[in-house]
């Protein structure tokens, strides 16, 4: 599972996910990409599940880039605990995803295989996505 080696603060504010992504919103490495259409938190487990789904489909063919990293901790209080007594302890790591963010990129495989692999990855994610291609007809 992905997680940062070292962080400045163990607990962070919840934050807001308003607006579109400016950074990481265009294809930089591959030919095909999975782009977020909605916003949400993408947990380290979801990043890993989608990565495995892509790798199983392409079977060592092509190259894949993961363009997100879970660098925000989220906290959870124990079950059956009364309100108050401070914030809960860190539970896991998430990446904050805004609309327009590129999540995964693929190259070195044919178009149908890439679309199918990215579709399988999209099924693992908690927000709507779309598959985009780099225009090579310039």
Q: How does pLDDT run across 101-132, given as a tens digit for each residue? A: 999 999 999 999 999 999 999 999 999 999 99
pLDDT in the model for residue 60 = 84
Q: For residues 83 and 72, give the distance between their C-alpha atoms in angstroms, rounded to a whole number.
A: 24
Per-residue pLDDT of 46-83, as tens digits, reads: 999 999 999 999 998 899 999 999 999 999 999 999 99
Q: Which helix (H) or strand (E) holds 95?
A: strand 89-97
> What angle, rounded to 10 degrees, do the helices at 111-122 and 44-58 form?
150
d(CA 12, CA 62): 37
111 within 8 A of 32, measured Cβ to Cβ: yes
pLDDT score, position 61:
87
What are the strands, taking DSSP E only, across 49-88?
A: 63-66, 72-76
Q: In the CATH scheme, what is the code of domain 32-75+89-133?
A: 3.90.1170.10
DSSP state letters, 19-58: S---TT-S--S-SEEEEESS-EEEEHHHHHHHHHHHHHHH
Contact 104, 66 (CB under 8 A): yes
DSSP bridge pairs for 105: 33, 65
| Domain ranges, ordered by start, for the chain | 32-75+89-133
CA distance 8 to 3: 14
pLDDT in tens, 31-48: 999 999 999 999 999 999
**Whole-structure pTM value:** 0.92
Q: Binning pLDDT at 50, 70 and 90, where does residue 137 land?
A: low
């Amino acid at each position: 599972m992905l997680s940062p080696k070292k962080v400045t603060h163990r607990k962070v504010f919840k934050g807001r996910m308003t607006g579109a992504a400016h950074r990481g919103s265009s294809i930089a490495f591959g030919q095909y990409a999975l782009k977020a259409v909605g916003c949400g938190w993408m947990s380290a487990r979801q990043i890993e599940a989608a990565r495995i789904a892509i790798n199983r489909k392409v079977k060592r063919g092509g190259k894949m880039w993961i363009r997100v990293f879970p660098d925000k901790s989220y906290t959870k209080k124990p079950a059956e605990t009364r309100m108050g007594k401070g914030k809960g302890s860190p539970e896991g790591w998430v990446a904050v995803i805004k609309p327009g963010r590129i999540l995964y990129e693929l190259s070195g495989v044919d178009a149908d295989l890439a679309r199918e692999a990215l579709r399988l990855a999209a099924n693992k994610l908690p927000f709507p996505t779309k598959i985009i291609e780099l225009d090579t007809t310039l």
